[in-house]
Structure 1
Amino acid sequence: MINSLSQSRRRFLTTVGASALTIPTLTDVLGRPLQTEAGQPGRKLGVALVGLGYYSKNLLAPALQQTQHCRLAGIVTGTPAKAEEWKQKYNISQANVYDYKTFDRIIDNKDIDVVYVVLPNNMHREFVVRAAQAGKHVICEKPMAITVADCQAMIDACKKANRQLAIGYRLHYEPFTQEVMRLGQQKVFGPVKFIESSDGFRSGDPNQWRLKKAMAGGGPLMDVGIYAVQGARYVTGEEPISVTAQFSPKTDPQKFKEVEETMFWQFRFPSGAVSNSTTSYASGVERLYASCQDGWFELSPAFGYGPLKGRTSKGPIEKPVVNHQAAHMDGVCKDLIDGKKLPDHITGEEGLRDVRLLQAIYRAAETGRTIDLKA
């Protein structure tokens, strides 16, 4: 798995643009030809956003006004007032507006090709499965789900429905991130020896769903900690072989009664590289740093919505600033239009790998033991 992951990422980084893999004939798990949107040059795929919270309202919807290969075609919300607001703002037809009960009717809507699930983590499985059963390609926000079993069920549903599943790994289409992938995986400064990969912020509303374990699956690790997990993995191009982890004492036990407030973990990789990470809802931290045999490189800020900034032991990293969400959705939809299989490192299989690691980090912190990830 490590070699295939690394090779997939290298192919991705050496291509021009967002598309990465081309194969002659695509089939699903049963060997049937994979349905695509190929043969429709100039067409923009219709995207329906499921859940109209902060991320959809402030980032995805505006980004869809800048995309070349997709457009905002529909919405799914349980709040009628939001539906009216979005219909007027984005000129969305009433026929393309659904609530959570009527969602399955989307199967008959030829104007919608892709469903983007932007809901609390515990709802991802249900709506990815329902979207696939409705014949739509799916993008799902990360973390993919709150259990490994949920992730596998989502993957299986999309394969059974002959649809492709992407996870919201927007940074894989972001130029500064692509550059640190290249620097690390191609050993530009020699082998990577040590990585610091951390992400955290001070949380606000004590009643938000992210602080409810049943909905979020955990605290900051399940929210922004996944960025730190990803950072260590895509810098090395390797899968960690062991993990240790620790919970920090809670400074606000009432607010964080269900989830962790801050935690730390350490990965060890097959090459001998080690990483140290922090995630927190109590303080801000956002850095990806790699010390190598012959130099170093870093991004700071490293995981936010941009602009990201980077430098190396030889000077600054100069890359174009892009809209992360637009680049991500365009990259996914361009591959769908062209009839290509999505790159492995943005698919459900990658999402499952991350969730498996998140769960291992929790086990390490809960037991105080080193968790062997090779088993």
Structure 2
Amino acid sequence: MPNRRHFIKQSGLFLAATTLPLPDYLIPKNKEKLGVALVGLGNYSSSQLAPALQETRFCELRGIVTGSPQKIPVWQKKYGIKDGNVYNYENMPDIANNEEIDVIYIVLPTGLHAEYAIKAAETGKHVWCEKPMARTAEECKNIINACEKNKVKLSIGYRMQHEANTQKLIKWADTKPFGAIKSLEAEAGYYGSPMNPWKLKKEMGGGAMYDMGVYPLNAARYSTGMEPIAVSATHSTNRPEIFTEVDETTSFELEFPDGITAKCKTSFGENLNNLEINCENGWYYLRPFQSYSGVKGKASDGTILPPFGKNQQAVQMDDDARAILNKTPVLVPGEDGLRDIVILEKIYESAAKKGERLMLG
């Protein structure tokens, strides 16, 4: 498996959109916008992605796929979606014949990602898949294979990698302005009450580690520019009557080359939102580091990382649309999502073995 720095360089991460004007070479030669169809009209689609698509430069909302007929007239009225661009889960393959749809964005519970991402790839449309990529590494590989077979681009919805302050930390992992990285802490969580029902179901990809844990996991990788070589983890809960199938809180430690350690935590029972990197000659942090807005931080030399005003999801989707239009690599490829799930599976295995240290391949 390539190291994290390989992913960054291959994906052209530092060419992502920022608050600065786009260089000429980043502006697609074909100015026509790509048509996006959202699969699943739950909270993330309705409150984040659909509004963000109204702010994008290179793509627009043109289609929906839903199993809830009552939502259709609401979405059509709000976003002007044509009757011919409305689909359900049974006739979703018909999108193959719709020239107005260029991208299918999978925004379903994690346990359904593989099934519908593969169906999306088989239509010949490009695939955007929300994080986490899938429940298992095998499912991730099946998605990647389906996209390769159908010659379509695949991008995973890690919006933070498109965010300007996060990109600065990723660059610092390479340039090391405060000396070699020694350790880091990453935490992401919220107090869920009541909980979204599917997030309590194991078969649907529920649990804190899948939902929020991929934020600190992915952050540990992009903040060091390395891949972990070992992991240990434990689960805990204060509400066992609610969390009967999945984890409420997971604490895990990742070991990287050169003795670098990452202490991480995720939870449905605590409000957590911190990323701090400690180096030989200083430190820097983002607090909050994975909120939808207001990501900001500071460094030990007094450098301030102020929040940027651009919509994160709009930047993410424009970056991915530009990669399609310019035929360049996406910022967050399927291999990146796969690697997180490989590690995540080891985290669960370690927790089941009461925190046993496990090596990663």
Task: Confirm or deny a common fold (TM above 0.5).
Answer: yes
The CA distance in 2 between the partners of 1:238 and 1:130, in whole Å, is 33
SS in 2 for 1:260: coil
Cα RMSD over matched residues? 1.6
The equivalent position to 2:46 in structure 1, one of 57, 62, 86, is 57
Matches of residues 77-226 of structure 1 in structure 2 within 5 Å?
77-206=66-195, 208-216=197-205, 218-226=206-214
**How many percent identity over aligned positions?**
41
In structure 1, the partner of 2:63 is 74
Instruction: State the shift of 1:207 in Å.
Output: 5.6
Q: Deviations over 1:173-217 (max 9, x none)?
A: 10010011122232110011010011010112246111111112x
Give aligned pairs, total. Answer: 350
Q: 3-state DSSP class of the match of 1:271?
A: helix
Asked whether the 8 Å contact 1:13–1:182 carries over to 2, the reply is no
| Contact 1:76–1:99 (8 Å) recurs in 2 | yes
Q: Letter of the 2:296 partner, please give it.
A: K
2:9, 2:149 → 1: CA distance? Answer: 29
8 Å CA contact 1:47–1:73 kept in 2: the answer is yes
- Deviation per residue, 1:80-125 (Å, 9 max, x gap): 1111100010000000000111111111100000000000111111
Tell me, yes or no, if the aligned pair for 2:59 and 2:318 is still in contact at 8 Å.
Answer: yes
TM-score w.r.t. length of structure 1: 0.90
Q: C-alpha displacement at 1:39, in angstroms?
A: 8.4
Runs of 4+ in structure 1 over 3 Å off: 10-18
Instruction: Specify the SS of the correspondent of 2:99.
Output: coil
Equivalent residue number for residue 5 of structure 2: 6
Alpha-carbon distance between aligned partners in 2 of 1:156 and 1:201, rounded to the nearest angstrom: 34
Gaps of 5+ in 1: 19-37
Does residue 358 in structure 1 map to residue 344 in structure 2? yes
TM-score, with length taken from structure 2 = 0.93
- Match of 1:283, SS? strand
Cα distance between partner residues in 1 of 2:74 and 2:16: 38
Which of residues 271, 289, 296 is equivalent to 2:276?
289
Aligned partner of 1:329 among 306, 317, 335: 317
1:257 maps to a residue whose letter is T
Aligned partners of 2:216, 2:167: CA distance in 1, in Å? 15
Cα distance in 1 for partners of 2:94, 2:170 equals: 41
Tell me if structure 2 keeps the 8 A contact 1:125–1:150. Answer: yes
1:307 corresponds to? 294
SS, match of residue 201 in structure 1? strand
Write the distance in 1 (CA, Å) between the matches of 2:39 and 2:165: 29
Cα distance in structure 1, aligned partners of 2:246 and 2:316: 30
Q: 1:175, 1:321 within 8 Å by CA — same for their partners in 2?
A: no
Q: CA deviation at 1:13?
A: 4.8
Q: Contact (CA 8 Å) 1:290, 1:296: kept in 2 or not?
A: yes
Following the alignment from structure 2 to structure 1, what is the Cα–Cα distance between the partners of residues 324 and 263? 37
- SS of match in other structure, 2:258: coil
Question: Partner residue of 1:367?
Answer: 353
Q: Which runs of 5+ in 2 are unaligned?
A: 19-26
Q: 1:40: how far off?
A: 6.1
1:2 and 1:238 in contact (8 A); partners too? no
Question: How many angstroms does 1:322 deviate by?
Answer: 1.7
> Which residue of 257, 263, 287 maps to 1:270?
257
Given that residues 200 and 281 in structure 1 are in contact (C-alpha distance below 8 angstroms), is that contact kept between their aligned partners in structure 2? Answer: yes
From the superposition, tell whether residues 333 and 245 of structure 1 become closer, same or farther in structure 2 (CA, over 3 Å). same
Distance 1:201 1:39, change over 3 A: closer
Name the residue aligned to 1:227. 215
